[in-house]
Structure 1
């Protein structure tokens, strides 16, 4: 690691980004796996979609709730230790799930344990890496890492869908477990704690650069995490960002990520073909989110969010009336895919502007928790409405309207005045 860092200099930050990109990619694959396991479980185990939706909702909820605590824990005991423990928990929980025979066991493995583990391997991890390793190009790097979730769909879903179609849900669980376990040695060998651990400074920084130090590095990290939430919750900016990111989760991995394959199944489209649709979205989101990071470094992030949420809302309203032809689904995949996670870079920039480089990533962790609360709500509501009404039309219409509302809220965000009192510089 040290020898490689000497030859690359500040560019070693790109090696770290590459490893974290793969970690985020695998975590995205884990969280999307229940969508391809739903129909095989319904067939083999007799579990209704409500059961699988509930387990997925628990996992998504804990995935978000664990985020801010994981961000603080990374400062308190170290990023490497936190990340390695999370990957091990993800591998163990999904691997053990192949033996489950009762619904509560799925809630425990795919809900509780995998939710907590993957909660440390999500957007807040990307935000921590960006703030810790980069002085410049933050929007672009955050866009690239956010796009890893799309790439996770691109790589995993067609493969997992093929495994589910040929061998049932158990090969899907094993594939995810093996992928999580394979990342442990990669993180151990290539990801140092911070730039100074290998004698480097942040990318784009001067040799005498002193990065900000989070207060969570000392004292009780739980008390600091909750205290930061209390301070942030006293600002209007936090609630605007929380509300828009709630809608972001509601309209992406909560509804579309969990139920689109089942929705396509209701319309006579096979699982592998439906997973290919999600993969196509992943291709365009990889483009759209990376471009969003570039745009975030140059334009007003509030206006970008307004455009992203409006396009997403209109796309979701369009889908139930599209006829599900090849052409209409391709149009949906392109429009929806381009801004699947494009909201992340501008939201992180607004969080850092409002709450500072030291507290911004932790506050962003709580904002991401709102994202996952929205996702959990949509995962559960989608399954509930499907069982009550026999179709997903109302669920997608509701999601589309929330996107329009979020577009309006985005334009109200004001970060010109500091949301927190200025923090003393730690030297």
Structure 2
């Protein structure tokens, strides 16, 4: 079959914009909307405590379930995208989070918060997590991968922070239920846009990926999505880089989603700061987050991802160590400096981690990153729960901030320990001399590593 010039692999948008950028834009909008759901736990903590007299620990438990599922769902969602396509998975995920948000408005028991917000919203947002961004980037881009990864990563926190002041105002003015309904309606509006505009692969519109030299046919659906996700976990878990990245990223989750996005607002309120002011500070973090993550993507295309990670974690740890002395009823200059610097560093860790996954795990990198991101969410969940319990027991968050700052120093060391994967020619020469597998030399493992899509290892 001969393709017409309109649908040839070299066809371009008549306005000179490659279709990959439109796909990235739709994916970014979807991630922004999904990210807005992550803002609510911090805003719900006090209202639910006051209305239902639930403990902060039980409310934090629901947030923890949400965070764990957000992470654990991602690798399975990436495999499902290989089976059913990006568009179908994302459209369904938007409907699931809408249902979860709406159902919370009629709950009357803490276990229902865990079911509706923890389970449903966790599963839905997890399907639109960083693994989704990595899948879009891997399929549609060959050049500018670091930059696009940075943009899509920043979209999540942009959604959290842009909508946070508005949601905080809605909660203060109309109570928490209208805020949840607003989120659900936002997801429902985006769902048809995803179905109409998002495409699974460049071959769907007869294009090459952006920056690719050759046209790549669309691969056939990969059956057994759950089995494949688990097989990739099994194989990657036998490699040293996986555990180093997972450990560092677990601490990353603890120091961002776990403590900042769940407990910063109530912690600031403990020091006399109005809730809307604290929420506005988080929104400012989101604004600077965009620049920081995009800049990190640009740097990742040019410099060693390991050193970048170590620097990001070290600086973040220093900021968190000094945060307790910056808390005050009013916004001081030191708090402004914290907000700016933390915003620049918040999601800057994502492009280097994605690049390292791609370096070691090739075509399985999106699923491997999904599992690494699961560790991120487990770390976030543990700290979200532990911080709530600590606040109930001792009446302050101060020791939590210090502990997380110390953990960030550990993450910096883990980042530096990750070895650089040898290039193919070097590995082949070393393996011939030692009799070992080339892939095992690159990963510090005896055996094989995920490197081909669902095929023989």
TM class, shorter-length: over 0.9
2:346 maps to: 340
Tell me the secondary structure at the aligned position of residue 99 of structure 1.
coil
What's the CA shift string for 1:19-69, capped at 9, x where partnerless?
Answer: 111111111110221111111112222222212211111001101010000
Tell whether 2:78 aligns with 1:71.
yes
Instruction: Normalising by structure 2, report the TM-score.
Output: 0.89
Distance 1:212 1:292 in 2: 30
1:229 maps to: 233
* Among 128, 131, 151, the residue aligned to 2:135: 128
Cα separation, partners in 2 of 1:369 and 1:202, compared to 1, 3 Å: same
1:395 maps to: 400
What's the CA shift string for 1:222-254, capped at 9, x where partnerless?
Answer: 111111111101111000000011011000011
1:185 maps to: 192
Distance 2:38 2:453 in 1: 38
The 8 Å contact of residues 237 and 415 in structure 1, kept in 2 or not, is answered as no
* Among 397, 407, 410, the residue aligned to 1:405: 410
Cα separation, partners in 2 of 1:194 and 1:321, compared to 1, 3 Å: same
The 8 Å contact of residues 13 and 203 in structure 1, kept in 2 or not, is answered as yes
The 8 Å contact of residues 37 and 172 in structure 1, kept in 2 or not, is answered as no
| CA deviation after TM superposition for structure 1 residue 210, in Å | 2.4
Unaligned regions of 5+ residues in structure 2, if any? Answer: 1-5, 423-441
Distance 1:334 1:66 in 2: 31
Unaligned regions of 5+ residues in structure 1, if any? Answer: none
Cα separation, partners in 2 of 1:317 and 1:177, compared to 1, 3 Å: same
1:199-238 equivalent positions in 2, closer than 5 A: 199-206=206-213, 208-210=214-216, 217-238=221-242
2:51 maps to: 44
The 8 Å contact of residues 239 and 449 in structure 2, kept in 1 or not, is answered as no
| CA deviation after TM superposition for structure 1 residue 201, in Å | 1.3
Cα separation, partners in 2 of 1:181 and 1:422, compared to 1, 3 Å: closer
| CA deviation after TM superposition for structure 1 residue 425, in Å | 9.0
Report which of the two structures shows the higher radius of gyration computed on alpha carbons.
Answer: 2
What's the CA shift string for 1:331-371, capped at 9, x where partnerless?
Answer: 11011111100000000001100111x11111111001000
| CA deviation after TM superposition for structure 1 residue 153, in Å | 2.6
Tell whether 2:326 aligns with 1:322.
yes
| CA deviation after TM superposition for structure 1 residue 150, in Å | 2.4
* Among 269, 272, 288, the residue aligned to 1:268: 272
1:16 maps to: 23
1:110 maps to: 117
The 8 Å contact of residues 84 and 184 in structure 1, kept in 2 or not, is answered as yes
Distance 2:219 2:322 in 1: 46
Query: What's the Cα RMSD here?
Result: 2.0
The 8 Å contact of residues 203 and 216 in structure 2, kept in 1 or not, is answered as no
Give the length in aligned residue pairs.
422
Distance 2:139 2:263 in 1: 36
The 8 Å contact of residues 135 and 204 in structure 1, kept in 2 or not, is answered as yes
Distance 1:402 1:241 in 2: 14
Cα separation, partners in 2 of 1:158 and 1:210, compared to 1, 3 Å: same
1:162-311 equivalent positions in 2, closer than 5 A: 162-206=169-213, 208-210=214-216, 217-311=221-315
Instruction: Normalising by structure 1, report the TM-score.
Output: 0.95
1:158 maps to: 165
Distance 1:147 1:424 in 2: 29
| CA deviation after TM superposition for structure 1 residue 154, in Å | 2.8
Cα separation, partners in 2 of 1:90 and 1:323, compared to 1, 3 Å: closer
The 8 Å contact of residues 67 and 124 in structure 1, kept in 2 or not, is answered as yes
The 8 Å contact of residues 94 and 174 in structure 1, kept in 2 or not, is answered as yes
The 8 Å contact of residues 151 and 286 in structure 1, kept in 2 or not, is answered as yes
1:407-426 equivalent positions in 2, closer than 5 A: 407-417=412-422, 418-419=442-443, 420-421=448-449, 423=451
Q: Which moved more, 1:308-317 or 1:27-36?
A: 27-36
| CA deviation after TM superposition for structure 1 residue 422, in Å | 8.1
| CA deviation after TM superposition for structure 1 residue 424, in Å | 6.0
